[in-house]
Amino acid sequence: MPDLTLERQFNAGPARVFEFISKTEHLLKWWGPEGVFLPEHNLSFERTGPWMSVMQNAEGQRFKVSGHVTHVDPPKSIGFTWAWHDENDVRGVESHVTIRLVPEQNGGTQLQLSHVDLPEETAESHQEGWNSTLNKLERLL
Amino acid sequence: MADLVQTFAALGDPTRFAIVERLMNEGPLSAGELQDVADISAPAISRHLKVLRQNGLITRTVDKQRRIYAVAPDQIRNISDWMLSHEAFWNAGLDRLAAALDED
C-alpha cells in the first residue's frame, strides 16, 4: 500500500502550531482544500475519540471522512484513523494519519505528516510532477 | 493522469477558469453570453473556448445559428476525484495552515 509523507516548515513555535492542528476553531481555518466548506464536522484533535468532517465543494458535492483520534501528545504529535464515506455513507478502507511537530533551531516548527495504509487506487503513487500542478489548481480553487 | 495534467493546464488561465466557473454556475451559454467574463475581444474568447473544448472541459452544440457551450461532466468529475487524493488534500490544507498561522 502506498504511504504518503509530507514535511512543512512553519515560522511559529510547536506550541502554537499544535493549537492550530488540534483545536476546532483553528482546524476550521485550514481543513481541506480552499473553496470547500464544512456543513458538518466534529473536528477536534485535543482528545482521543471520534472525529468526522463533511466537505462540500462549489458544485454541491459532499465528501465525508471520519475516524478516531488515537493519540494526542501536545505539543509533539497527534494520531488518528481516516476513511472516506461513499455516497451511501458506507465507510471505506481505513488509513492512519500521524502528525509530528519537531522544534527547529530558529524557533520555528517542522511538521511531519504521514498518511499510511492508503488504498491502492489513490493518486499518491503518481508522485512526479504532481505537486506543481496541484499547487496551481490550489490557487484556482 | 496525463489527461488531468492537461486539464489543469487548461484551467491555469484566469479567463478559461472564469468561463468554466460561469458554465458550472449558470448552465449552458452561448459564446455571446460568455463574452463578459473578461475584458477581451470576441476572437480571444473564441480561442479560450477552443482550448477548453480541446481539453475536454466543455462541449459545444449548435442550436439553430447559436453555438452553445456547456461543461463536460466527465472531466469535471475527474477534478472532483482529485479532491479525494490524499496528497492533494494535505498539501492544500497545509498551505492554508501556513497562511492561517501567518495571519494570526
Asked whether the predicted pLDDT for residue A78 surpasses 90, the reply is yes
- CATH number where B95 lies: 1.10.10.10
Mutation for A interface: B91, B102, B103, B104, most A CBs within 10 A: B91
CA B78, B84, B88, B93 dihedral sign is positive
CA-to-CA distance for A66 and B25, rounded, in angstroms? 29
The answer to whether A30 contacts B94, with C-beta atoms less than 8 Å apart, is yes
Q: What is the pTM of this model?
A: 0.61
* Closest Cβ–Cβ partner in B21, B24, B84 for A63: B84
Asked whether the predicted pLDDT for residue A21 surpasses 60, the reply is yes
Asked whether the predicted pLDDT for residue A79 surpasses 90, the reply is yes
Q: How far is residue A35 CA from its own chain's centroid?
A: 16
Interstrand relation of B29-30 and B66-71 (parallel, antiparallel or unpaired): antiparallel
DSSP 8-class letter at B64? T
The answer to whether A140 contacts B101, with C-beta atoms less than 8 Å apart, is no
Confidence (pLDDT) at B9: 74
- Cell digits for A15? 506550541
* ipTM higher than threshold 0.85: no
CA-to-CA distance for B79 and B11, rounded, in angstroms? 11
Confidence (pLDDT) at B84: 57
Asked whether the predicted pLDDT for residue A122 surpasses 80, the reply is no
Residue B100 at interface with chain A, using a CB cutoff of 8 Å: yes
Contacts of B85 in chain A (CB under 8 A): 122-124
The answer to whether B83 contacts A123, with C-beta atoms less than 8 Å apart, is no
Fold type of domain A4-140: Alpha-D-Glucose-1,6-Bisphosphate; Chain A, domain 4 (3.30.530)
Confidence (pLDDT) at A134: 40
Contacts of A135 in chain B (CB under 8 A): 91, 95
Query: B82: buried, middle or exposed (CB in 10 Å: 19+, 13-18, 0-12)?
Result: buried
Confidence (pLDDT) at A125: 35
Q: Domains in chain B: how many in total? A: 1
- The C-alpha cell 465507510 sits at A91
Nearest to A103 by CA among A111, A91, A95, A113: A111
User: Is-cis flag, bond preceding A75, omega within 30?
Assistant: yes
Residue B90 at interface with chain A, using a CB cutoff of 8 Å: yes
The answer to whether A32 contacts B98, with C-beta atoms less than 8 Å apart, is no
Amino acid at A104: E
Full domain range(s) for residue B31 = 2-103
- The C-alpha cell 495552515 sits at B97
- Cell digits for B104? 494570526
- Banded pLDDT at B51 (limits 50, 70, 90): very high
Confidence (pLDDT) at A127: 38
